[in-house]
Amino acid sequence: MKELEVHIGNLRLKSPLMTASGTSGHSGEEMERLATSPQTKASLGAFVTKGITLQPRPGHPEVRIVETRTGLLNSIGLQNKGVKFFVEQELPGLLNFALPIIVNISGSTVDEFSEVASYLNNHDLSETISGIEINVSCPNIKRGGVAFGTDPKQVQRIVKAVRKRTAPRILLITKLTPNIADITLPARAAIEGGSDALSMINTLRGMAINVDTGKPLLGNKTGGLSGPAIKPVGVFMVYECFRKIEQCYKTEIPIIGLGGISTWRDALEYIMAGATAVGVGTAWFVNPNIFKSICNGIKGYVKKRGVKLSDLIGRAHDTKDDTMRC
């Protein structure tokens, strides 16, 4: 599958497809069942875990998932058993995946992010972990619950703190929130903090109300919207970062695009906007063969046109736009 090979920093991916954090199961067993179907494994370039925090988190009250006409609303609340449990009970199984493993981490303070990263760094003796994806969409408890990701200074501090506690071989990806007017501000801050790559987008804030009861449908009242509805937002944000940030334009800082991808055409849209790789989440719930289907579609496209996938990265950018880039 050489024609689909891409590089994200020091990582060579046999395919540009990755799982999206939080959509690949919440126990080692579940992750294994979902991701080790031979077809899925053959089509994936990397596996991204659910979000891990320092201490176990029970998550938000039920109901946690609501289907809407155009996507999924979730308020899982980062339910997980903490980094110690993850390293002892789940990480060993991920070694069998024979795929680069990227661990998604979250925290409520800058110190919590760096402690999780440090724990992973110091306890991953078999070097199973290839990368850490820093989810900066979570609320900062020291700042009244405002999401870290909307404050570029905080983003830079988190990335810097995580970089300090992790070995240089570990790829650092910063996952950005779309709940902001100008995504290039936290993107630049992440790069300045030492991020090797960016991923975008996380879910968009949303809610749904049951008009019969007059009450919000989610136990947490509000949640994050994923799925087809958010794809144009994600494509735009990738396009903006690629166009306005020189390191992204040169693919020195690769972008992983995600949000609403459910066909190979969706994946190519992200790649043409400037993404080097793409993640798929919500669509995997609907179609267990999604990765194979997207992979085959992209393969067919590049074969028919006699191009390499890397030739398509940023294809949607008219060179006349160059003056607008920085």
Ligand X SMILES: Cc1cc2nc3c(=O)[nH]c(=O)nc-3n(C[C@H](O)[C@H](O)[C@H](O)COP(=O)(O)O)c2cc1C
Among 11, 76, 120, 235, binds ligand X (CB under 6 A): 76
Residues 154-183 that bind ligand X (CB under 6 A): 175
Minimum CB distance to ligand X smaller for 216 or for 317:
216
Least distance (Å) between residue 266 CB and ligand X: 9
Among 23, 195, 251, 276, binds ligand X (CB under 6 A): 23
Least distance (Å) between residue 26 CB and ligand X: 9
Among 241, 261, 277, 313, binds ligand X (CB under 6 A): 261
CA torsion angle 152 206 145 148 (round to 10) = -20
State the residue for tokens 């891409």. 6
Q: Which residues contact 275 (CB under 8 A, 6 or more apart)?
A: 16, 238, 242, 254, 255, 256, 257, 313
Alpha helices in the chain (DSSP H): 28-35, 38-43, 82-85, 91-94, 110-123, 152-164, 184-193, 231-244, 246-249, 264-273, 282-286, 290-305, 309-312
Least distance (Å) between residue 50 CB and ligand X: 5
Least distance (Å) between residue 30 CB and ligand X: 12
Residues 215-244 that bind ligand X (CB under 6 A): 226-227, 230
List the x/- string, 284-323, binding to ligand X by CB under 6 A.
Answer: ----------------------------------------
Minimum CB distance to ligand X smaller for 16 or for 227:
227
Least distance (Å) between residue 234 CB and ligand X: 7
Minimum CB distance to ligand X smaller for 50 or for 292:
50
Q: Environment class of residue 37 by beta-carbon count within 10 Å: exposed (0-12), middle (13-18) or buried (19+)?
A: middle
Q: Is the preceding omega at residue 201 within 30 degrees of 0, hence cis?
A: yes
Contact 17, 45 (CB under 8 A): yes
Contact call for residue 195 and ligand X (CB under 6 A): no
Residue-wise burial string across 93-122, b where 16 or more C-beta atoms lie within 10 A, e elsewhere: ebeebebbbbbbbbbbbbebbbbbbbbbbe
Contact 273, 257 (CB under 8 A): yes
Minimum CB distance to ligand X smaller for 283 or for 317:
283
- Residue 138 known to be catalytic: yes
Minimum CB distance to ligand X smaller for 159 or for 317:
159
Contact call for residue 46 and ligand X (CB under 6 A): no
State the residue for tokens 């497809």. 17
Contact call for residue 50 and ligand X (CB under 6 A): yes
What is the DSSP code string of 37-76? SHHHHHH-SBEEEEEE-SS-B--PPSP-EEE-SSSEEE--
Minimum CB distance to ligand X smaller for 221 or for 308:
221
Contact call for residue 43 and ligand X (CB under 6 A): no
* Count of residues near ligand X by CB under 6 A: 26
State the residue for tokens 């440090």. 118
Contact 25, 31 (CB under 8 A): yes
Least distance (Å) between residue 84 CB and ligand X: 18
Contact call for residue 51 and ligand X (CB under 6 A): yes
Active site (catalytic) residues: 138
Which residues here bind ligand X, judged by CB under 6 A? Answer: 20-23, 50-51, 72, 74, 76, 78, 104, 135, 175, 202-203, 226-227, 230, 258-261, 280-283
